[in-house]
A and B are shown apart, each in its own frame.
Chain A
């Protein structure tokens, strides 16, 4: 969408002098995530800068000013290495729904990562890459019969369940399924609470085990998900402990084929070291090495978030006062930022290009607070997507150094999780997601 596509009552912008960014610039001091390794900022910045400089505003084609991602495939490799450093016993099944970018999936497949699919189209996409269906777990917690039939046809055997009705459907349409019983967990501290909606409570486990036995189905393991962005990792410990209880109860029911524990997802790079420590300790206590149980996980954002950087163009501005305005950018919740609605994310906007200058390295160009680290931010903004829809709000309140105007660019670091999912092909309709790929794998 070009900046002329929406009509707004624009007020001339006061020519305020932007503060000296160098005076306040603290290179790498205001990181979005505290990463266990240095991100290749030079390469990411070069990709962003080249793209923006290539746009000739006089002759640019429609779409040239669209928002775009920079995707660093090398980051996937670094994350993979870090995963096995922290959780050497846990085989990751990447949650495709988090970001189904084809190149990222390819890289993960080449690295030996398996896949957690939640829909027919995700399974289709992964199989089309030549991935063996044995490397897929079908973990949609709301499966209609047609989904189960599809999984059966595609020979995807691993699947989760949490209720009796689902077991009857599986018996009818996919009796060879290798089933994992999904138990509910305490996700009260998670940003994205899942168990309140999905998962069987511990007191109902016996009913499900009995039903599995009666129907002659193949129960191969237990699964849980503590929700995304959990702040208290004791829920991980409790969930592993509960899983052990289910394994033992299954033995009592004569179900002796259990060999898989799925510890779910919700892992974030910022807290990965801490959550992994808790998980390792719980596994060592309840499923020690050599116990014959394979451990798998369903990480999504861990692999996707820091891999992508989104750049968006300011297309309009509504000045509310000399230091307060509403900025409209050419991306929003209906485009690449549905993570705001679906994932509780609060993307961090930063100034990329203003007044003919690039500000990528000024990691303090913006702040969620008006006063931070001794600096008073002069501009208060709310940032909106292009649709003029009340849902399409990126941030209601943020503070920036620069008095941005239409034509400027902002960027959102670490915005790969649940961002591009909705803007990728769906039911055959290709939507625009412009991604510049770089590979800093050797760094």
Chain B
């Protein structure tokens, strides 16, 4: 999904902030849309409806707390499938030229590094540049999160693999991607299948 889609002018009085918030939510969640669905108009509509419906249910529950039957919240390794409690746009212009889309659940801060320029930042990381990681760790701590998961695009394996080689030194660990084969059993909605994490290498750190 193009990040220009639905740009809002929030500088004007009465600028539509609510719409902006929706855009942030949708753009963040769209990072987990599988590439084959990103260009299909029908899939994008399904995606939008799916996120809006799910968020609607969540907000309703917050406003009118009702007992809901227990339901599995999904695999512990795939908390990215849950909508966030908070959504953030983080801008670290010294390291990434694009905005970083983030969301928080109760415990974990999910950070999706911009795919098109993450690898160059990772490469710079080799030459004594750990600031961007520290900044994100500090932000995760400020948000009261226990851990941070960083989603790094697989589009430049070399940049990523070099970063991985110092991972144990900085207390990170590699999180396996979800088991797509087990998805059908776990999720009832066909809409769930348009999402995936296979384009990312996922790293987890303590905050």
Does B125 sit within 8 A of A, measured CB to CB?
Answer: yes
Q: How far is B140's CA from A196's CA once the two chains are assembled, in angstroms?
A: 26
Q: How far is B204's CA from A32's CA once the two chains are assembled, in angstroms?
A: 32
Interface size on A, residues (CB 8 A): 38
Q: How far is B141's CA from A122's CA once the two chains are assembled, in angstroms?
A: 18
Q: How far is B206's CA from A118's CA once the two chains are assembled, in angstroms?
A: 11
Stretch at the interface among B9-17, B19-27, B40-48, B169-177: B169-177
Does A197 sit within 8 A of B, measured CB to CB?
Answer: yes
Does B167 sit within 8 A of A, measured CB to CB?
Answer: yes
- A343 contact from B76, B140, B168, Cβ within 8 A: B168
**Which residues of chain A from 183 to 204 have any CB-CB distance to chain B below 8 Å in the complex?**
192, 194, 196-198
Does B120 sit within 8 A of A, measured CB to CB?
Answer: no
Specify which chain B residues have a CB less than 8 angstroms from the CB of A197 in the assembled complex: 125-128, 130, 166, 169
Whole-angstrom distance from the CB of B14 to the nearest CB of chain A? Answer: 39
Which residue of chain A has its CB nearest to the CB of B166? A197
Does B133 sit within 8 A of A, measured CB to CB?
Answer: yes
Does A323 sit within 8 A of B, measured CB to CB?
Answer: no
Does A107 sit within 8 A of B, measured CB to CB?
Answer: no
Let me know if B176 and A342 touch, CB within 8 A: no
Q: How far is B158's CA from A341's CA once the two chains are assembled, in angstroms?
A: 12
Let me know if B171 and A97 touch, CB within 8 A: yes
Interface residues on B, range: 20 to 34
Whole-angstrom distance from the CB of B200 to the nearest CB of chain A? Answer: 11
Let me know if B169 and A421 touch, CB within 8 A: no
Q: Knowing A198-B169, A342-B165, A427-B146, say if A387 contacts B176 (CB, 8 Å).
A: yes
Does B164 sit within 8 A of A, measured CB to CB?
Answer: yes
Does A10 sit within 8 A of B, measured CB to CB?
Answer: no
Query: Digit string of A243-286 for contact with B (CB within 8 Å is 1, else 0)?
Result: 00000000000000000000000000000000000000000000
Let me know if A426 and B173 touch, CB within 8 A: yes
Let me know if A145 and B141 touch, CB within 8 A: yes
Which residue of chain B has its CB nearest to the CB of A121? B206
Does B201 sit within 8 A of A, measured CB to CB?
Answer: yes
Q: Knowing A196-B128, A391-B201, say if A141 contacts B169 (CB, 8 Å).
A: yes
Let me know if B134 and A192 touch, CB within 8 A: no
Q: Knowing A387-B176, A391-B201, A422-B174, say if A142 contacts B207 (CB, 8 Å).
A: no
Specify which chain A residues have a CB less than 8 angstroms from the CB of B167 in the assembled complex: 341-342
**Which residues of chain B from 154 to 201 have any CB-CB distance to chain A below 8 Å in the complex?**
154, 157, 161, 164-171, 173-174, 176-177, 181, 201
Please give 5 more A-B residue pairs, beta carbons under 8 A apart, in addition to A142-B169, A146-B137, A427-B206: A145-B138, A197-B127, A338-B168, A422-B173, A427-B204
- Closest 3 A/B residue pairs (Cβ): A144-B137, A119-B171, A146-B141
